[in-house]
Structure 1
Amino acid sequence: MNVLIVDDQTQVVNGLIFGIDWTKIGVNEVLKAYNAFEAREIINSYSIDLLLCDIEMPAESGLDLYQWIKEQNIDIECIFLTAHADFTYAKMAMQLGGFDYILQPAKYETIELTIMNAIQKITLKKETKKYYAYGKLLQQNTEILLDNLVKDWIIRKNKDSSRFIEVLSQIHVSLDSSDHIYLVMLDVFHVKETMKSWSNGLLKFSIGNIVKELFARYGQNVLVAQVDDQKLVFIIYAMNRRLIDPEGVTRQLNRLIEVYQSYYGCDIACYTGDKIVVAEAPDLAAQLREMMQNNVSLTSKVFQLKDRTDQQTVTNPIPNMKIWSKLLEQGDSEVVRDQACELLDHLAMQGKIDAEFLKRFYQQFIQMLYTTAEIVDVPIHRILQEEDRLEKWLSSYTNVDNMKELIAYASQCFKSFPGSEDEMKNQVDIILQYIRDHIDQDIRRTDIAREVYLNPNYVSRLFKSETGISLKEFIIMEKMKLAQALLKSTKLPISIVAMKVGYTNFSHFSQVYKKTWNVTPAEERQ
């Protein structure tokens, strides 16, 4: 416990240092300062728990010093000392959150007792923070334990349900091997850019809160475990053994899909079956995972195991890609892109694509690209060189969206390497038109790249080489030009002007405008 005494009178400081038995009341170190400036230097250099501070000091008062401490979010208790019985001082001291206010001269015993009370409060706060940190760590460890436990039990098929139930009991979840449950596997896709950076279980937390609330209305408990980046498992059970009916499960899962789409803008597919006893979960999980893997068209709905047909693997023949190879040789990459993507869309709409079909399609398409690249002398290694996309390209067979993106990107690359000057200018014209058509939106490089079927890094390099200005700078300048024209020629509120050029944050719009034109939007309007 460290204490700082601040007073401009040397006699008062020395009197407090030698008049109080600091060791007896548990203080390790007592520091001193004779003005607010010295006090701030000490506070910035040492960990101070308690401040004994004179109110009336030259240059800067003790009240000002404590106000600065509060503004810096430094957690220090303060006992104010003053020789003046001024109610205004006392009121201000309490408003700032000071621990106490002592009128001088006061007996050392009185000051010592006040300090002891302050130390008790400080000790209690530290203990509370410590136990809160322990509780938070325990909660995090419990979530990690549950994730690994469920993953080991139903994904790795460790069928020892008794061990599973035993460990659950340690985290206060009571299940018996004969209890009935519903097992649900969930996949999240079309995830927004803002969610891709989520970490520390935020996806699990957000979905878990919604699903627990939905099923709590039916008296059901839900264990939520995350088994992959965007894949979760639910175990639905009832403490009173009154399990919800299958139709109720489907109804609430459909509601989950609607709510998550509404709040976060991404899609969810749920896979489940009839109720089972706990020991049957690993076998059911294998069937649900197979359904999940075959949803390569990323359909957002509740898939029921009982609705799955017993049809054999899709036997649709893979199209003859020699035709696409000839088209790429002739420079007709857009035709290849359109034909391949339309074919996949058509088959997906008819439900004729499963994981096995898409994997064979992917293998033959990659083979066709390599064969054609050798013929036309296109450096195939440059097509798949983007580090941030390479892993995605190598697993494009997992769903139709990724496969179509690979088709569009690879087809365009055949056109872009080496690429004539006229073609590059045409691509820049398309980019310019896209920016002007979407000036009222938050234009991102990835959106533009998707429009011209190029990769984002290449778009940036191409635009800079053809225009002499970076893509980001050009977009900002176009928005600011339009904003300036609207401010000068209309009476629209500045907030509406900001929205018309794609800014939802008014403060950010004002900062960018000031940086561009050296005046604020309000000054421009005047």
Structure 2
Amino acid sequence: MNVLIIDDQTQVVNGLFLGIDWAKIGVKQVLKAYNAFEARELLSSQPIDIMLCDIEMPAESGLQLYRWTREQDIDTECIFLTAHADFTFAKTAMQLGGFDYILQPARYETIENAIVNAIHKITLKQETNKYYAYGKMFQKNKEILLDNLIKDWIFRKNRDAERFMADLSQIQVALEPEAEMYLVMLDVFHLKKDMANWRSGLLKFSIGNIMNELFARYGQNVLTAQIQDESFAFLIYSPNRLLIDHEGVERQLNKFIDVYRAYYGCDIACYTGDKISISEAPEQAAMLMEMKQNNVSLASKVFLLKDRSEQQHTLSYQMPNMKMWSKLLEQGDTEVVRDQAFALLNQLAIDEKIDAEFLKRFYQQYMQMLYTTAELKEISLQRIFQDEHSLEKGLSSYANVDDMKELIAYTTKFFNSFPGSEEEIKNQVDVIIQYIRDHIDQDIRRTDIAREVYLNPNYVSRLFKVETGMSLKEFIIMEKMKLAQALLKSTKLPISIIAMKVGYTNFSHFSQVYKKTWNVTPAEDRQ
């Protein structure tokens, strides 16, 4: 513990410093300040446990000083000393949260007792904070352990039921081996952009809170485990064996979907079955996971295992005529292909006639059609999927209908804009060059050019370099400098105006680029 004595009277400070047996009451360091300014410097530079502070000081009072410590969130206990029995002082001191208020002159023993009481309060607060920190750490570790325990159990990584129950009890979760419960798998779809950082914890927190609140109304407990970023598993059980009925579970899950959509704008799919024991959870989890995988249309509703047999029908809907789509792409009717594909997938989703198997086969045939069409138009496959993002989409768009539609939109737009033959490629480069010359008075950016020719910015740069032997940036600068040089030698325009005519608003930067290009400054070149 340390104490800061603050008083404008040197005699009072020295008297307290020498008159109190600091070691006896557990104070290791005693600091001195003779005004509020000095006190602030000490309070800002190191932790001060207790302030022993005079109220009436010139320039700034002890009350003002202590108010400042509150505003700065400096955690210190303050014992006020004053020679005037002014009730207003005492009232203000207590309102600010002062620990004690002592009238001077006071016996050193009285001041010692006040300091001892303050030390006791600080020690108690430190212990409370320590246990609070332990509690937070335990709760955080408990959440991580619970995630892993439930995942390992339902996905059969841990096959020892007794060990699973023992591990749960270690984190204060009491489940009986034969107790019945409901297993629910849950997916969140269409997470809003401003919720992207929720995956690390807030998503689980919000979902877990709402689920617990909804099922607590029926006297049920809910254990929550995060399976993946936007996928969760729940164990719903009763602490007194009065388990909610299946209809009640379905009803509360539907409420949950409505509540979460209303509050957060996200869609939710829940998958659940009949009540089970702990030992039956892995088997049911496998069936629920299959239902999850078949929800490729990302339908927002409650899926029940009892309905699974009715949903497991053979899809009689024939695949679309991919040869016709290939011909349409070849002819440039790309929007027709996109619209037909979207209409088909949307209708199948509405009719619930689409599952994971159908979407994989659709993806396979669609990709084959793309490759065939690319060969006919003499387009290499690298040009279709030219960057990491488009390549990833091209390789994994069969997981759900949204991803498949994104792939279709991307590829049909590509065929609508991208040339195939060498002559067409040359024409595309000519368009880029013409765009640069038409906008020579502007700050030309690669993204502007890419937007003009409907290509990826990175690919525009690579294509231009391959076809011209010069980087896009180098070519733009050279075109600007050629025009600037011509204007310098053929007109009497001020150099600053010429700089603006080739897209430079900063004259100094223009001069530097000009000299780097022609080895002379614009003024020297004009002479």
**Aligned partners of 1:157 and 1:282 also within 8 Å:** no
Matched, 1:166 2:166: yes
Q: Which residue of 1 aligns with 2:413?
A: 412
Structure 2 CA distance for partners of 1:24 and 1:399, relative to 1, 3 Å: same
- Which residue is 2:343 aligned to? 342
Return 199-208 or 180-189, whichever deviates more: 199-208
2-structure distance, mates of 1:367, 1:113: 88
Aligned-pair distance for 1:216?
Answer: 2.0
Aligned residues with identical type, % of pairs: 70
1:381–1:123 distance in 2 versus 1, CA, 3 Å: farther
Contact 1:409/1:455 (<8 A) preserved: no
Instruction: State the partner residue of 2:304.
Output: 304
- Unaligned regions of 5+ residues in structure 1, if any? 425-452, 459-526
Quote the offset at 1:174 in angstroms: 2.6
- Distance in structure 2 (CA, Å) of the matches to 1:104 and 1:377: 98
Map 1:12-411 → 2, pairs under 5 A? 12-309=12-309, 311=312, 314=315, 316-370=317-371, 372-373=373-374, 376=377, 384=385, 394-411=395-412
Checking the alignment, whether the CA contact within 8 Å between 1:313 and 1:354 is kept in structure 2 is no
Which sits farther off after the overlay, 262-271 or 215-224? Answer: 215-224
Map of 1:476-491 to 2, 5 A cutoff? none
Tell me the distance in 2 between the aligned counterparts of 1:361 and 1:16: 88
Deviation at 1:64, TM superposition (A): 1.5
Counterpart CA distance in 2 for 1:77 and 1:115 is 9
Structure 1 residues 126 and 347: alpha-carbon distance in aligned structure 2, compared to 1, 3 A threshold: same
Check the 8 A contact 1:192/1:266 in 2, yes or no. Answer: yes
How far is the alpha carbon of 1:316 from its aligned partner?
A: 4.3
- CA distance in 2 between counterparts of 1:20 and 1:389 reads 76
Does structure 2 retain, via aligned residues, the 8 Å contact 1:314–1:356? no
Q: 1:295 Cα deviation (Å)?
A: 0.3
User: Secondary structure, in 3 states, of the residue corresponding to 2:197?
Assistant: coil
C-alpha deviations, 1:282-338, integer Å up to 9, x for none? Answer: 001000000010001011111111111263564644434343344334443322322
State the distance in 1 between where 2:382 and 2:32 align. 68
Q: How do residues 434-453 of structure 1 correspond to structure 2 at under 5 angstroms?
A: none
Q: How far does residue 85 in structure 1 lie from its aligned partner after superposition?
A: 2.1
CA 1:285–1:38 in 2, change beyond 3 Å: closer, same or farther? same
Could you tell which deviates more after superposition, 212-221 or 179-188?
212-221
- Which one-letter code corresponds to 2:159 in the other structure? K
Q: Greater CA radius of gyration, 1 or 2?
A: 2
Contact residue 188 and residue 269 of structure 1 kept, 8 A: yes
Other-structure match for 2:446: none
SS of structure 2 residue aligned to 1:172? coil
2:327 and 2:249 map into 1 onto residues whose CA distance is: 52
2:186/2:271 contact within 8 Å kept:
yes
Partner Cα distance (1:255, 1:377) in 2: 54
| Cα distance per residue 1:348-374 (max 9 Å; x no partner) | 122221112212323343444455456
Cα 1:342–1:64 shift into 2, 3 Å: same
Change in 2 beyond 3 A, CA 1:393/1:7 = farther
The 1:393/1:61 distance shift into structure 2, 3 A limit, reads farther
RMSD value over aligned CA atoms?
A: 2.8
SS at match of 2:309: coil
Whole-angstrom distance in 2 between the partners of 1:331 and 1:80: 86
Tell me, in whole angstroms, the C-alpha distance in 2 between the residues paired with 1:191 and 1:383.
28
Whole-angstrom CA distance in 2 between matches of 1:454 and 1:254: 44
Q: Secondary structure at the match of 1:361?
A: helix
Query: 1:367-415 CA deviation, whole Å, 9 max, x = no partner?
Result: 4445545655768657656667765664322111122123223333444
Partner Cα separation in structure 2 for residue 51 and residue 457 of structure 1 = 64
Cα deviation for residue 124 of structure 1 reads: 0.9
The alpha carbon displacement at 1:108 in A equals: 1.4
Q: Note if contact 2:188-2:269 (Cα within 8 Å) is conserved in structure 1.
A: yes
Aligned residue for 1:232, secondary structure, equals strand
| Cα distance change, pair 28–363 in 1 and its aligned pair in 2 (3 A) | farther
C-alpha distance after superposition, 1:171-198 (max 9, x if no partner) = 3333222222211111111112222211
TM-score normalised to the size of structure 1? 0.75
* In 1: Cα distance, 2:48 partner to 2:372 partner: 72
Aligned-partner Cα distance in 2 for 1:76–1:250: 54
1:456 positional shift: 12
Write the distance in 2 (CA, Å) between the matches of 1:346 and 1:454: 31
Conserved? CA contact 1:66–1:96, under 8 Å: yes
- Decide whether aligned partners of structure 1 residues 456 and 39 sit closer, same or farther in structure 2, where only a CA change above 3 A counts: farther
Q: Is the 8 A contact 1:378 1:414 kept in 2?
A: no
Q: Is the 8 A contact 1:77 1:118 kept in 2?
A: yes
Once the two structures are TM-superposed, the CA of residue 157 in structure 1 deviates from its matched residue by 4.7
**Map of 1:465 onto structure 2:** none
CA distance in 2, matches of 1:303, 1:411: 34
Which amino acid is the alignment partner of residue 251 of structure 1? Answer: R
User: Which whole-Å deviations, capped at 9, do the CAs of 1:402-435 have from their partners, x for residues lacking one?
Assistant: 22123223333444557769xx9xxxxxxxxxxx
1:11 to 2:19 alignment: no
Assess if the C-alpha contact under 8 Å between 1:393 and 1:406 holds in 2: yes
Secondary structure of the equivalent of 1:222?
A: strand
**Deviation, structure 1 residue 347:** 1.5
Structure-1 separation of matches of 2:154 and 2:178: 17
Rounded to whole Å, the distance in 1 between the matches of 2:69 and 2:380 is 62
Distance 2:200 2:336 in 1: 44
Q: How many residues align?
A: 429
8 Å CA contact 1:409, 1:454 repeated in 2: no
1:143 to partner: Cα distance: 1.2
Alpha-carbon displacement from aligned partner over 1:192-227 (angstroms, at most 9, x marks no partner)? 222221155222221222222222222222212111
Distance 1:417 1:82 in 2: 86
Aligned residues of 2:158 and 2:164 also touching (Cα < 8 A): no
Please give the alpha-carbon distance, in whole angstroms, between the structure 2 residues aligned to 1:34 and 1:390: 71
Q: Distance in 2 between matches of 1:222 and 1:263?
A: 21
